[in-house]
C-alpha cells in the first residue's frame, strides 16, 4: 500500500526516508499551510526530476481512501494481511485487548504502539483496543447484532479497510477518560485522526465516536488538525486547491491532487521521496517530502 521510492539521486545518497520522519513530538510544533502555491516543478529530464507513472488503479488504494455510506470499500480491493493482537505481545506493552478475536495489519499496529508509547511517557496508559480489522463476514455479523444505528453494513465501514481501530480505556468512557482526551489532542502527531468528531456528524454521517481512530499519515493528519476538518472535507479541499504546501515540525511537504480516468495512466514529474494514495473517488494524492528540509535531515532510522 505504501510506496516509498527515492527518485532523486541526492535522497538516495543521504539514505533517509519517508518512514524515518519523526512524528511531531511537542506542543510547539507549528504547521504552516500555504494555500494555492503555484507549481514549481523542474522540467522533466533535469538531474533531480523523474517521471512518476500513476496507474488508474491507484485511485483505489492507499492511506487516504474515503469509506463512508456513499463510498464503499472498492471492489476487488486487496485485503490487508492482519495479525491477531495476541500474537504480538511485543507491540502490546501497556495496551489491553477486549478479546482474542481482534486483528490489525502489523504495520498499523506498529504505528499505534509508537503513539501509545508517547502517551505512556505522559502518564496515560490504560488503553484497550476493542475492535480492529473486520472482514465482510465480521462486519455483517456486527451489523446484524447492533443494527444500522451502531454499525455500518459490510463494505461501508472503515474497519473493512484495515486503517482504523476502536480504542477504549479501562478507566471509563473515552469521552471522559484521560486516554480519550490524550488521543483527541495528540493523535494527529502520529498520523492518526479522530474520525467522527462531535461537531462533524452531518458531514461524516456518523454519530460522535470518541473511540474510533483512523490512520491517514503525516502530513495529512497535521493539516486536518490545523484546519479543523474531517477526511471528507480534507479530500474536497485538496481537489479544490490542486496543490498545497505544508510544513510540519520543520519538514516541508507538497500535497498534490490528480484526477485519474479509467484506462488512462498519468505521468507527472516528481522530485524527492513521495507517497501515493487514492481517495476512492477517482483521485490520486501525491505527497512529496523535500529531501533537504530540516526535519528530514534530523530524522533517524525508524
Regarding 134 and contact with Zn ion (CB under 5 A), the answer is: no
| 182 or 211: CB nearest Zn ion | 211
Binding mask 204-243 for Zn ion (x = CB under 5 A): --------x-------------------------------
| Active site positions, annotated | 209
CA distance 64 to 74: 13
| Closest distance to Zn ion from the beta carbon of 143 (Å) | 13
Angle at 274 between CA 273 and CA 279, to 5 degrees: 175
Contact criterion met (CB below 8 Å) for 111 and 215: yes
x-or-dash string of contact with Zn ion, 45-84, rule CB under 5 A: ----------------------------------------
Please select the residue that binds Zn ion; options are 63, 103, 166, 275, rule is CB under 5 A: 166
Within 8 A by CB and 6+ apart from 139, the residues are 151, 152, 153, 154, 155, 157, 159, 160
- Does position 103 interact with Zn ion (CB under 5 A)? The reply is no
| Residue 49 cell numbers, joined | 526530476
Shortest CB 198 distance to Zn ion, Å: 15
Residue nearer to Zn ion on the CB measure, 166 or 271: 166
Dihedral in degrees, nearest 10, Cα atoms 75, 80, 81, 83: -130
Kindly tell me the burial class for residue 34, based on how many C-beta atoms sit within 10 Å of its own C-beta (0-12, 13-18, 19 or more). exposed
Q: How many residues bind Zn ion (CB under 5 A)?
A: 2
Q: How many helices (H) and strands (E) does the chain have?
A: 8, 15
**CB-nearer residue toward Zn ion: 33 or 140:** 140
Nearer to Zn ion, 85 or 276 (CB): 85
Report the interface residues with Zn ion, using CB under 5 A: 166, 212
Amino acid at each position: 500500500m505504501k510506496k516509498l521510492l527515492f527518485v532523486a539521486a541526492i535522497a538516495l545518497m543521504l539514505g533517509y526516508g519517508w518512514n524515518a520522519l519523526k512524528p511531531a513530538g511537542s506542543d510547539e510544533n507549528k504547521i504552516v499551510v500555504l494555500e494555492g502555491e503555484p507549481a514549481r516543478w523542474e522540467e522533466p529530464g533535469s538531474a533531480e526530476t523523474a517521471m512518476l507513472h500513476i496507474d488508474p488503479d491507484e485511485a483505489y488504494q492507499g492511506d487516504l481512501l474515503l469509506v463512508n455510506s456513499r463510498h464503499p470499500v472498492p471492489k476487488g480491493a486487496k485485503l490487508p494481511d492482519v495479525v491477531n493482537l495476541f500474537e504480538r505481545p511485543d507491540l502490546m506493552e501497556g495496551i489491553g485487548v477486549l478479546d482474542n478475536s481482534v486483528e490489525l495489519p502489523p504495520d498499523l499496529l506498529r504505528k499505534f504502539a509508537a503513539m501509545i508509547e508517547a502517551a505512556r511517557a505522559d502518564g496515560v496508559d490504560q488503553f484497550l483496543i476493542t475492535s480492529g480489522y473486520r472482514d465482510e463476514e465480521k462486519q455483517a455479523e456486527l451489523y446484524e447484532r447492533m443494527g444500522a444505528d451502531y454499525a455500518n453494513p459490510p463494505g461501508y465501514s472503515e474497519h473493512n479497510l484495515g486503517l482504523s481501530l476502536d480504542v477504549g480505556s479501562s478507566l471509563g468512557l473515552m469521552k471522559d477518560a484521560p486516554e480519550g482526551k490524550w488521543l483527541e489532542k495528540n493523535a494527529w502527531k502520529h498520523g492518526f485522526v479522530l474520525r467522527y468528531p462531535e461537531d462533524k456528524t452531518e458531514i461524516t454521517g456518523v454519530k460522535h465516536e470518541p473511540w474510533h481512530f483512523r490512520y491517514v499519515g503525516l502530513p495529512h493528519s497535521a493539516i486536518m488538525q490545523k484546519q479543523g476538518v474531517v477526511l471528507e472535507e480534507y479530500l474536497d479541499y485538496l481537489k479544490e486547491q490542486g496543490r498545497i504546501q505544508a510544513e510540519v515540525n520543520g519538514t516541508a511537504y507538497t500535497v498534490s491532487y490528480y484526477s485519474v480516468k479509467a484506462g488512462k495512466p498519468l505521468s507527472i514529474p516528481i522530485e524527492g521521496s513521495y507517497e501515493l494514495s487514492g481517495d476512492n473517488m477517482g483521485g490520486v494524492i501525491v505527497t512529496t517530502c523535500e529531501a533537504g528540509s530540516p526535519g528530514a535531515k534530523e530524522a533517524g532510522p525508524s
